Amino acid sequence: MIEKNINIVEERIKSRCAAAGRNPSDITLVAVSKTHPAEMVREAFSAGLIHFGENKAQEMDAKSLEIKESVLWHFIGHLQTNKVKNVIKSAEYIHSVESVKLAAEIEKRAAKLDKVQKVLLEIKTSSEESKFGLETEDQIKEVADFCMESGNIQLSGFMTMAPFTDDESVIRKSFSNLRELKEKFNARGYGLDELSMGMTSDYEIAIEEGSTMLRVGTAIFGSRSYTI
C-alpha cells in the first residue's frame, strides 16, 4: 500500500511539474513519518524514498537509532532549545528555526559535533494563532544574518505552513508570499535554495508556487495513529 501511495504522489508531482514548466528533479519529497512505526519508514525506504520528516524531537531521535538504513532526516516540528540535543545528531535539515536563541543553540550543538547543520527559517504567512514562525522582515533578517555568520549553520531556505482552509486563493497567497520573500532575500545576496511548503492537502498548489520540499504524510502512510 505504501509503495502504491508513493507512486500516486510521485505521478501527481510529475504531472503538476509538467503543467507548471518545472523539473520534478528540483523537488524533494519528504515523507512525514511522525507517529508511524519504524517498519513503515523502512517500507517507504524500500520503495525508493530517502527523505523522512519528524516533528517530535524524541521520536526522531529514537527512530534514527532504530533505523539503520541510510535515510535523511528532516525535523519539521516546533523545536524547543532544550530539545536541540535530541535532533542535532541525526537531522539533515531543521525546517523550523524561528529565533536567534534557537539558532544559537543549534550552532553550539553542531560545533560540538563538528557538523554544519542545514536549516530553514520558519515563516508565518497566515494569521492563525496556532502557527509558529517569524513574521516581519526585520525578524527574518536578524535570524538569517545570525545563521549566515555562524560557522556551523548553513541557511538553506524558508519554510511555511499554509492556513487550514478550503480557499485555494488563500493557500496560494501564503505560498507565493514565501516565494517572493525568498526572491527578495536572494536579491540581497543570501543565496537561498529551498522553499519547504506544501503538505498532503495542498502540495500541488505549492509546486505551482515554487516549492522545492514537499512535506507529505497522510497521502503516503495513511491516517496517523497517535498512540506513540
Query: Would strands 72-75 and 194-196 be described as parallel, antiparallel, or unpaired?
Result: unpaired
Task: Judge whether residue 228 has pLDDT over 70.
Answer: no
Per the prediction, the chain carries an average pLDDT of 95
Q: Read off the pLDDT of residues 124-178 as tens digits, 9 standing for 90 and up.
A: 998 766 678 999 999 999 999 999 999 999 999 999 999 999 999 999 999 999 9
Q: How confident is the model at residue 9 (pLDDT cuts 50, 70, 90)?
A: very high
- pLDDT value at position 226? 53
**pTM (2 decimals)?**
0.95
As a whole number of angstroms, the distance between CA 186 and CA 9 comes to 30
Every domain of the chain and the residues it spans = 2-221
What's the average model confidence in pLDDT over 26-54? 97
Fold type of domain 2-221: TIM Barrel (3.20.20)
- Helices and strands in the chain, H and E counts: 9, 8
- pLDDT value at position 132? 84
Q: Which residues of 183-219 are buried (b: 16+ CB within 10 A; e: fewer)?
A: eebeeeebebebbbbbbeebbbbbbbbbbbbbbbbeb
